[in-house]
Amino acid sequence: MTDQSAELEWRDGRVPVSTRFDDPYYSLDNGLAETRHVFLSGNDLPARFRPGFRIAELGFGTGLNLLCALQAFRAAGVPGQLHFTTFEAYPMAPGDMIAAQAHFPELAEIAADLRPFWGRDAFETPDLVFTLIPGDARDTLPAWQGRADAWFLDGFSPAKNPELWGETLMAQVARHTAPDGTAATYTAAGHVRRALEAGGFTVTRAPGFGRKRHMTTARL
């Protein structure tokens, strides 16, 4: 793994906050509900799941989105494996991931299944093919050979982490999206929507989660 590790502190003992970006890793209200609303519903999941479905993600963080997606994949009864590729410049230490995931008892079974694998850049289970690509996504995504059926765009706030939301990177997201593929993100920032549109996506502003009035969904 990269030696560029996440730097964090814990808010109220339960929400990890990046000290590098001064931004929480998930909603202070309900991180699991936010993930389901933004990244699952925003990509029309689990309805679109099929064997070999491919999710790609910008910003792995605590692994919450992966746990949530794999739980939904299992609950949908889809045979085969979910393919999940994530791009992360500052991977979180396994112990911090485990501590963060412990605050979501609904995901305890999935978290226990995957706990032995944290710290690896790639692993495979009977229903998951996982790849973490460390480093700056502006460098690593162009070299990726895959394409995603759904993107989870989950970098830190565009105001605090602008490099993960630029037009050039969004064009690479589009280039690595399968026909009729989708993307979703919690942000409704105008420059992010315009960058997705410039990449070839049809972009929709949708109701956001909690205190966020709007979010963004996109289809290629």
pLDDT of residue 20: 80
When comparing pLDDT for 86 and 26, which is higher? Answer: 86
Q: Which of 64, 33, 44, 28 is nearest to 208 (CA)?
A: 33
Q: Is it the case that residue 66 has pLDDT exceeding 80?
A: yes
Distance CA 147, CA 157 (A): 25
C-beta separation of 24 from 34 below 8 A? no
| The Cα angle at residue 52 between residues 48 and 56, in degrees rounded to 5 | 75
Band (86; pLDDT cuts 50, 70, 90): very high
When comparing pLDDT for 157 and 52, which is higher? Answer: 52
pLDDT of residue 145: 97
Q: What is the mean pLDDT of the chain?
A: 92
